[in-house]
Structure 1
């Protein structure tokens, strides 16, 4: 029968979030109820709160989560009650033209739970990225559950559900960083630092971190950056070129999502180099570049959505790397907090005081 649990709701644009009781229906066909153990506070949740994604309030926030499957609906065979899972927001369909061409990470028909979670008065909730995991339990499509080794700590495993995967995937999957490459990462928040960690995993010879905050640059160096540039005091394009024999980086990853930083990334790459946009822009932003420069510089301009990941392939692999000591996921966790501390975590995020706050249940 339906369950009542505590969850964090964004009631309206820029209104403070609050903890409320919500109703979780029994899982229907293809669905699962997951008991959440930990959920990271991601900048995308703040975007939802600010109305930067859409206006389908109230939102059930949280999506960077790990937990245990409690129950499943009819026809579910990929997960079972008791499985430890990381939630993902790209449950591939297996039937669209991308999936049938062997490129499921580009799936054009990803899906979520069909039933709606609600407030006590029946008001339907819009779960962030189809998950809604700032909650004791949540309802998702079973394909949004990726089984991993239950020995990994939930507070680090959950980060693979969004930000860390987005950054690592931007470097390895989208940017295809290779051994000996030079890489520049503009914006050293959680996603940017994950791109730095991914570049190091891929064997990049030079990793240049760019930010306006010296504290973030210090963290970026700990994540694997070989050089840092404070773009508040130095021209980042010229600095990146100076560090790459005047050529520019082979791969430049833009992890801010603003036109001015994208333009910096465009001109900071080498001829025939690659620009990867993984920062999330707002709907009003516009980009203007001379078309002749786009043509004349060659190379690739790519967008990385969720790090072009395939959760069933990438999540277990990255958990294994963490357990081998080759990927320090714990370094991304600045603090663990309670369900009632999310609004304060947003403030800390805005001030640049945390890499990741993680709600632990």
Structure 2
């Protein structure tokens, strides 16, 4: 009896499937558009490049207290300047949360068309970003995420976890035949989620080739901090095979400490992609053999997205007629073999 019921159930399912297939076929032949028509939903590259309605974009970021942030700010200004239909209203860079909130409040009161915001503290700027969104002003969040999905129309991020993965993978490729290799890590500010993400990616990538982090110190993204942390690391570890330093700005101090200690038995990988680091990689005359890109173009990308959104345009190379609400940029490895492809976008430490 059970087998008969099962058989009948299969017949019913088969019949429904057949009817559905006929319905789909009829729909395709009778009422659907052609493939060309179905994907031609958004604006084209030519339409995006063409001058549109003039839009005012407010931009606020932290103080440019090191090279990467300086490049972030200058990149935003340069991106806005290339569009004749963009007026940029830039606030003075600040690490004072209260001052940055006030800058965003000014943008809201001035009724700008869009806001690009690299917050000094993502959580602290979330409330005012939500206020802007509720006022109908799209917010493009850059680098440091807000704590609510309602605070931004689109978010542009570097890949911190991916940086760690790229660094660990490169070191695995160089030291894969040395299972007992000593791998050291010079992190940035340990309390920051971005540092924690970079370290997690690094650890995970190393584990894939049987390596781990043998020694680790943290610095503070400054030259002085990098030199102090590296000096401590080198003193405590007489033999090292590879070092990953999270940040090329602090890497100037790291390299100074290495030179002072007269150490050269290891390879070093940097992070962020400064021009100084790339020139050293190009010269190939130091322990620095690679760096991992953390794009300083994020705010420039934010300006470009803000213009598209404010003008009602779309990301032309995507089929979906919209602008993505989250973009995570790549974290490629730069070596002497490909440094020429990246050095023009590098920032000065």
TM-score category (smaller protein): 0.3 to 0.5
Normalized per residue, the structure richer in strand is 1
Give the structure-1-normalised TM-score.
0.34
Whose relative contact order is higher, 1 or 2, with alpha carbons under 8 Å and at least 6 apart? 2
Q: TM-score scaled to structure 2, two decimals?
A: 0.35
Which of structures 1 and 2 has the bigger CA Rg? 2
